[in-house]
Structure 1
Amino acid sequence: MVERRKPIWVKEAIEQVMGYKIRGEKELISIDDCDGRYLAEPLVADHDVPPFDRSPYDGFALRAEDTVQASRDNPLNIRVIDEIGAGQVSNKNVGHMEAVRIMTGAQIPIGADCVIMLELVQEEKSDDGTFIKIKRSLTPGENISFRGEDTIKGSPLINQGVLINPGIKALLATFGYSKVTVGKRPVIGVIATGSELLQPEDELVPGKIRNSNGFMIESQIIRAGGLYKRYGSFADDLEALQNAIETAMAECDVVITTGGVSVGDYDFLPEIYKRIGANLLFNKIAMRPGSVTSCGEKDGKLLFGLSGNPSACYIGFELFVRPIIRYWLRSERPFLRCLQGTLNIDFPKPNPFSRFVRSQLIYKDGKIYAEPVGLDKSGVVTSLAWADCLIVLPGGTRGFQQADQVDILLLDDQQGSEKPWQEAKLSKL
């Protein structure tokens, strides 16, 4: 089953995969259940915010023209004719030298055009009523939150495909979305291959390792916004693996296998692509780690073959599977967001292919730096626990030095990018 493979560029591999992108279905769910889901329709304001002129402070609503002569040397007495709290509306019209005591959030009464804060006045009560003494002039509109100054009715607020966070949930409640239209999460089938794999609860024995890739990929699927369906781990048995893949292709929207994609005698995925009649998009990419990443398509569904090496598997998912999931969820920015920063340490390893280095962001002196974490080997798993970004080092170089400018792909970011980093032209390298 050994075969010769011709690598394609990362950019070309992404284009091949995204040629099969589709938008998923929508579903209507309760606002109580929408945390962590993705909006399937733009969020639009159904009323002005604020819906009326209101006071941002506890104080007194009055007319600015009545305060023109007020000063420390010439304090003015203004009669208080009413008192209102938030949610209340005064039935009094504010006239000459009159004021209404008002609480934060309450609607400005008719006739008033400004508010003086409570701590700036002296309140006095007498047989003639309640008065405030003011020692400064005000201008029309002072200390008033005007209707629509935050948002005008009909204004677009949030695009489709955006993760619902606490702030967006507040907007949903503000604008009466007791039911929320979200993207129906794609179901991603996960199959781990290899006779050497044990489960987490199994004792280690010579020649065996625990299956980390399956659990890692499941977590990445959740972070990207999808659901996973676990099909277990399969020993190096061609027929059993083929049956599992065919079942998963029938039941899921996307299928991922880990392992079985290189050129060894027990790497069955190339043969399975042929057996199930899948259209092979690519089976080698000019990248490190993860050069043996492959992808096939059958009836519009994608079957990804990711490396059995943990770091290579992880990066293959982020570059090629994540954007498919995000696009499914209607994101207009499905790709990893790219920043440009400074390499914080030397990286002397030569790069015949583009290299994606598990790294950490460092903020220092108002600048963005990044440096690799752990060993830069595809089989290393510990570095993944600390990585929050990937440094991109272009191929054809003899290594990089500290202070070189590099592209940095953000792993935990939710904003995303409209285009892959190569097309965003954020890098000068």
Structure 2
Amino acid sequence: MANREPMDNKFGRKALQVKEAQMKIMAYAARLESETVPLEAAPGRYLADNVAAPHPFPAFNRSGMDGYAVVSADTANCREGGTVWLNVVDNIPCGSVPSGEIISGTAARIMTGAQVPEGADAVVMLEATETRELNGVPQVGIRKPILSGRNVTPRGLEISEGDLVLAAGRKIAAGDIAVLATFGISDVPVIRRPKVGVFATGSELLDVKEPLQPGKIRNSNSPMLEALVREAGGEPVMLGAIADDLDLARSKVQMALETYDLVITTGGVSVGDYDIMGDLVREEAGDMLFNKVAMRPGSVTTAAVRGGKVLLALSGNPGASYIGFQLFARPAIASMQGATEPFLPEWTVILGADYSKVNNYTRFVRARLELPDGNVYAYPAALDASSVMVTIKDSDCLIIVPPEERGLTAGTKVQVIKLP
């Protein structure tokens, strides 16, 4: 059900739905240029180009165990209860190349992972053999028949030459590093990390290192946003706090937009006398993307574009700032890195406890996930007001409560956004 709200004539605010606001920002979150980094620096980065296999994997027929490489047809007579004796003509440890072909009546001692010689089509496990020497020639005795292909990993079983192994836009994880290393890709093409300028506004803010003073609070939002930007793959550039001075804010914002790929502010976007970010954005209304979102908390979230760069002004309330980042900044930062899925995943889970708050806007409720009986339950935080900070650390999802809901009861299926 769509929410409709008349225009606020005094402040020019008209609420957009969350998805509409997200799309307005994403229109300016184009993929950045690529760069090359060494393999050890690639985890957590987004792949810039498709990676195709330059050779098959395995690159050769590989032994699956310690034993003897044989021609399987030579073992057929074992069915009659006898032992088949074969001349051992080679010894192949890992990393060595077979000295020649295996023909009927011969075998090669081989180690796990070593290259199976031409002519051999099976490997008999060591425990199923016995050995002897006859006229100075080492022999292996085999007591049971073996099928062709047994204990041999064929060339190209996992990947054929030219196969797509990693697609552009993939976030590189440990398994991907193994694949890149396997194919000898020591320099990895990735998308440049976006540089994100972050500053807070408010004359009441103290640095983290400062002692408390009457009427003041420490600036907790900036360190939180710094961590969130890093978590999203961006490079945060901390610009400090700005007092409630419109001229100072204007110059700082302009400098930041000229220098960085995205600028995030926290605080000063409400409708009070000292909410300078709201005033700054309204100065050039033609560049405004939105200045109100139909959501709780964080309805005052504001965004504008200057010179193709997005200024995202988040609420100064910690809970609202945190949720605003996850909904708007994180997908933009991911999109700039070429992510194929920039938005956080949504799950359907079971509500673990009653939630009674109602609102005319979609509410995003901090919650924790639990699996008490094998099913996934979401338990709302006891305190989820926008100004509450402590429940951020205990939350691993956001319950989406649509505006048409007049309270939710435990056991109801709900949608959640899974937090990183």
Q: TM-score, normalised by structure 2?
A: 0.94
- The one of 219, 226, 229 aligned to 2:227: 219
Structure 1 residue identity aligned to 2:190: V
Change (3 A) 1:278 1:217: farther
2:178 matches 1:162: no
C-alpha contact (below 8 Å) 1:2/1:265 kept by paired residues: no
Tell me which of 121, 124, 142 is aligned to 1:116. 124
CA separation of 1:278/1:170 partners in 2, compared to 1, >3 Å: closer, same or farther? farther
Aligned with residue 322 of structure 2, among 314, 317, 333: 314
* 2:4 corresponds to: none
2:245 aligned with 1:242:
no
Q: Which residue of 2 aligns with 1:344?
A: 352
- 1:78 pairs with 2:97: no
Contact 1:351 1:399 in 2 (8 A): no
Indicate the SS of the match to 1:215.
helix
Could you tell me which of 363, 382, 391 is aligned with 2:390? 382
Q: Distance in 1 between matches of 2:192 and 2:286?
A: 26
How do residues 138-157 of structure 1 correspond to structure 2 at under 5 angstroms? Answer: 138-157=146-165
* SS in structure 2 at match of 1:68: helix
1:132 equivalent to 2:140? Answer yes
The equivalent residue for 2:261 is 253
- What whole-Å deviation, never above 9, does each CA across 1:221-277 have from its counterpart, x for those lacking one? 111111111110011111111111111111111111100001111111122124467
Matched, 1:41 2:49: yes
Unaligned 5+ segments in structure 2 are 1-8
Output aligned runs, 1:252-401, within 5 Å: 252-275=260-283, 279-401=287-409
Question: Equivalents in 1 of 2:382, 2:127: separation in Å?
Answer: 58
Deviation at 1:71, TM superposition (A): 4.5
The residue type equivalent to 1:152 in the other structure is S
Deviates more, 1:229-238 or 1:276-285: 276-285
Q: Which runs of 5+ in 1 are unaligned?
A: 413-429
CA displacement at 1:65 relative to structure 2: 0.6
Q: Secondary structure at the match of 1:162?
A: coil
Structure 1 distance, partners of 2:360, 2:127, is: 70
The amino acid of 1:297's aligned partner reads: V
Letter in 1 for 2:209: E
Counterpart residue identity of residue 86, structure 1: C
- What corresponds to 1:228 in structure 2? 236
Q: Which residue of 1 aligns with 2:32?
A: 24
Measure, in 1, the Cα distance between the counterparts of 2:360 and 2:284: 34
Counterparts in 2 of 1:162-241, with a 5 A limit?
162-241=170-249
* Map of 1:96 onto structure 2: 104
Q: Distance in 2 between matches of 1:204 and 1:279?
A: 38
Compute the displacement of 1:4 (Å): 4.8
Farther off after superposition, 351-360 or 259-268: 351-360
Per-residue Cα deviation, 1:139-180 (whole angstroms, up to 9, x for no partner): 111111111111111111122222222211111111121111
Question: The residue matched to 1:261 in structure 2 has which SS?
Answer: coil
CA distance in 1, matches of 2:361, 2:403: 4
User: Hey, what's the Cα distance between the residues in 1 that align with 2:83 and 2:214?
Assistant: 91
Question: Does residue 70 of structure 2 align to residue 62 of structure 1?
Answer: yes
Write the distance in 2 (CA, Å) between the matches of 1:365 and 1:118. 46
Number of residues of Structure 1 aligned to a counterpart in Structure 2: 412
- Provide the aligned C-alpha RMSD in A: 1.7
Q: Distance in 1 between matches of 2:360 and 2:369?
A: 25
Q: How many Å separate the matches in 2 of 1:37 and 1:129?
A: 57
CA deviation after TM superposition for structure 1 residue 214, in Å: 0.7
Distance 2:146 2:10 in 1: 85
Change (3 A) 1:138 1:187: same
Paired residue secondary structure (1:245): helix
Q: What's the % identity of the aligned pairs?
A: 42
Cα separation, 1, equivalents of 2:256 and 2:391: 31
CA contact (8 A) 1:71 1:134 kept: no
* Counterpart secondary structure, 1:218: helix
Q: How far does residue 97 in structure 1 lie from its aligned partner after superposition?
A: 2.5
SS in 2 for 1:391: strand
Contact 1:161/1:326 (8 A) holds in 2: no
8 Å CA contact retained: 1:72, 1:136 = no
Classify the secondary structure of the residue corresponding to 1:250. Answer: helix
Q: 1:125 to 1:390 in 2, by over 3 A?
A: farther
**1: CA distance, partners of 2:301 / 2:340:** 25
- Distance in 1, matches of 2:28 and 2:311, equals 11
SS in 1 for 2:371: strand
Conserved in 2, the CA contact under 8 Å of 1:188 and 1:226? yes
> Scaled by the length of structure 1, what TM-score is found?
0.92
Q: Which moved more, 1:72-81 or 1:230-239?
A: 72-81
Instruction: Give the C-alpha shift of residue 395 in structure 1.
Output: 1.4
